[in-house]
Structure formats: C-alpha cells, structure tokens
Amino acid sequence: MEWMLLPYKRYADFSGRSRRMEYWMFTLLSVIVSVVCLALIFGGMPSMENLATAEQTGADPFAEMGTLSWIGIAIIVVWGLGSIIPSIAVTVRRLHDQNYTGWIYLGVVLLGLIPLIGTLAQLAFLVVMCLPGTKGPNKYGPDPLDPSSASVFE
C-alpha cells in the first residue's frame, strides 16, 4: 500500500527517479479506483427500458440516475483531479530512471490525439515503462534500487 501512495507524497516532484514498483503500484491503484467508481456509476444507472420510457415521455433521463451513480461520478472526478499531477510526476520520474527526458511523455500524449499513430505510440510507451531503469546513477539522480542510497520512505 505504501508504494501505491508514494506518488502522492512526492506530489509535484518532477526531479529524480522512480522505480518500476512505484509506477506500477500507482497504476494499479488507479485501475482499482476506476473499476470501483465505474461499478458504482453503472450500478446506479437505470435500465435501458427505463431510459427509453423516459425519452418517450420527455422526462429527463438524468433524473432516473440513482444516488450510487452520482457518488461514483463525484468520487472519480475528485480523485482524477487530485491524481493528475502525481500521475504525470511519477511518469516523468520513471522516464528519468531510464535516462530519458520527461518531455517524451508530452510527445506521447500529443501523439495520442492521432488515432492509429497514437495507439502505436502508447503501446511503445507501455513497453518502455516495463523496462528496467539505468543501473547506477544517471544525470537525473542515484539509482533507486541501489541499497546504499537513502530510502525514499524516510
């Protein structure tokens, strides 16, 4: 659990390096929160029959949404806004661990706007995020796996 929350402790720290464990545990936390919120959202949604009836009668289809849906939407919006900076920061630090500049992430995000090329760029980026970091110190800091370096939890 500590690895999942570490990017929040290093909220806007775009310098230094992050190991794969920090990046992927934060990604796992993101997936878990998203799945729970989507379950709440879809669990509180009206059936298709109720939506069709509401549309035929001219009623507001959003009025048919249950409280669970609104709670799920509120949680995912608040969580998403609170997680965007730590998400970018941990991704930049992960790139630093591989001795790449963090600006590569901006390129991947912009390429994501182009349908086929964006998909290929994001798949390549996924592979890069899975690769181990540079052994020993690099221009972005000491190796986070080096036992002689200070612990990130202190």
Please write the tens of the pLDDT for every residue from 91-114. Answer: 999 999 999 999 999 999 999 999
Asked whether the predicted pLDDT for residue 147 surpasses 70, the reply is no
Q: What is the pLDDT of residue 94?
A: 95
Neighbours of 3 (CB within 10 A): 17
Please write the tens of the pLDDT for every residue from 59-89. Answer: 776 666 788 888 999 999 999 999 999 999 9
**Among the listed residues 99, 64, 79, 101, the one whose alpha carbon sits nearest the alpha carbon of residue 29:** 79
- For residue 141, what are the β-bridge partners? 138
- The structure's pTM equals 0.82
